[in-house]
Amino acid sequence: MQVIGRLLTVFGVVMIGMGLMLTFFDKIPFIGKLPGDISIRKDNIQIYFPIATSILLSVVVSLILWLISGVMKK
């Protein structure tokens, strides 16, 4: 039962973090404007591929989950 409690706590913290990130997403200066992000603008069409931002967020989320799994094993 303790494992489920810890899992729900971690899930709640992750959800709060994601909610805060979405709330303040416009105020984070480098998100979406990294050198590897591709933006194509023509006449009335805009195509955006946030490649570098996706890689950066993937690394950050992976590190957070790795740290959480290390704490859960103890």
pLDDT tens-place string over residues 30-53: 667 788 888 889 989 988 888 988
- pTM exceeds cut of 0.85: no
Asked if 31 and 54 touch (Cβ cutoff 8 Å), the reply is no
Q: Band of the pLDDT at 28, cuts 50, 70, 90?
A: low
Q: What is the mean pLDDT of residues 16-27?
A: 78
Q: Mean pLDDT over residues 16-36, rounded?
A: 77
Report how many helices (DSSP H) and strands (DSSP E) the chain contains, helices first: 2, 2
Report domain extents, the chain: 2-73
Structure tokens, 58 = 């993937």
Per-residue pLDDT at 21: 76
